[in-house]
Amino acid sequence: MFNKPALVVLLVAVLLGITSLGPTLRQYFKVAGVFRNLPNTVLAQEDHIVYIEDTIQCEDVHHHLESNQLFLACEDNYEGRFEWFPPLAKFINSSKIEHSRGSIHVVDPVIKTSRRLTFQDFDGPFTTHGIDVISDPDSTAPAVFIFAVNHVPDASSCPSSTSHQDCVWRASSRIEVFRHVLGSTTANHVRTVKHPLISTPNDVLALDPNSFIITNDYYHKEGLMRHVELLAWPLKWSTAIHVSFQHGSSLKDAEGVTAKVALDNFYNLNGLGRGRDGEVVIGRAGAGAIEFAHISPENQTLNVFDHVQADSTVDNPSYFADPYADDSFDGSGYIIAGLGKAADLLHTAGDPNALDPSIVWFIPTKPGGRGPAVKAGDVTPRLMFHDDGKRIRFATTAVLVGIDPKLENGQRWGWLFVTGALAKGAVAVKVNLEALV
């Protein structure tokens, strides 16, 4: 028997199939996880999983290779996201973020401990989502710029005289830019970046200290059409936006900002990541699709050249360039996390005690671990990790950090760091790369 949310997805899928507007019913069911009943990934040893403390609801994580540090965008309160989180159309009570806000954390992948950065010159609401990190090319001391999506309430939608309960809140999402000197404890706020084309930002990909790309995963921010857009694959209304901006904390939020559409006519553009040779990798969440694009140097548009279909929803992609690759083995590949049973989200998204199964896929660039590299579109994604939601709920991002084979008797292992937008904490899972490729 199906629960009510699953029946809703089934009904929508049937309607799409009847009208010949959507993909096959079989693929729709697969991505939604309606029939999925995967067992949990069994770990070889108990110490092959580490629960990282103080990493609440970290929707995104990035591995900064130059410093070998992980940067995460997290929340400081577990319950607040279930009442205010515009990406899931949660606008119940914006006052939650007045008492607790998000934070940026740095995790050492070796010792697997988290330390949160203290904000300097930033005291506003901070509802975290996607982030990205790039090195500061002009700094004398090693430093990075951190770009972070921030879903703050739109103050203009509710006059100050209106109570939170009586008001229909909307989001006024923007991008926050911070600068962090590696090894320090602070993140200095550089500026806020706002523009009308930054509407429903999901993820951000930094191109340089003065420009980035964001995905608007939906056209509608709230209301009935937002829910219709969520379920209907044929509605290709999401966009990717190229944004350039000037630096300066004295600048107003929209001052010195230019933006234009870099990609459109796609359903549910979501996560962004870097791939091989300048690739931009895009996860299309509800479609379970991964797109591969290059940025045009002439007009900064995204030109899609390859495509991979997964059998679940997908979120933020990452790429693992095997630092220990040699002629005998290369474990490089794309990693992408998603939901094992997305159909259940219709009722679990507002429940702090629910479980949302997590799934992580791996797309090797050299199937078998050797030989010439192949196109991602020529490889079927391999199941890397699956959990019923008890170890990690609602996986949204996964990155892989390789382990020196000398420490593993010549075997190829890595630590897979998985974060989730509704998870109580991030986890690190030890995986055998030779079994994956």
Give burial (CB, 10 Å; 0-12/13-18/19+) of 164: middle
Report the chain's mean pLDDT, rounded to a whole number: 91
Average pLDDT, integer, range 75-93: 90
Q: What is the pLDDT of residue 12?
A: 54
Residue 194 has pLDDT above 90, yes or no: yes
Residues of the chain with pLDDT > 90, as a percent, come to: 78
Residue 4 has pLDDT above 70, yes or no: no
- CATH code of the domain in which 31 resides: 2.120.10.30
For residue 89, what are its two tokens? 């159309």
pLDDT digits (tens, 9 = 90+) for 241-280: 999 999 987 889 999 999 999 999 999 999 999 999 999 9
Q: Which residues pair with 147 in a beta bridge?
A: 132, 177
d(CA 299, CA 264): 14
Q: Which residue has the tokens 């992408």?
A: 336
Residue 225 has pLDDT above 90, yes or no: no
Residue 21 has pLDDT above 60, yes or no: no
Residue 19 has pLDDT above 90, yes or no: no
Q: How confident is the model at residue 227 (pLDDT cuts 50, 70, 90)?
A: confident
Host domain of residue 227: 4-435
Q: What is the pLDDT of residue 90?
A: 87
Q: What is the pLDDT of residue 17?
A: 47
d(CA 311, CA 234): 18
| CA distance from start to end of the chain | 36
The count of structural domains within the chain is 1
Judged by average pLDDT, the poorest of 12-26, 154-168, 386-400 is: 12-26
Q: What is the pLDDT of residue 1?
A: 38
Q: How confident is the model at residue 6 (pLDDT cuts 50, 70, 90)?
A: very low
Closest to 323 (Cα-Cα) out of 388, 413, 259, 260: 413
Of 14 and 228, which is predicted with more confidence?
228
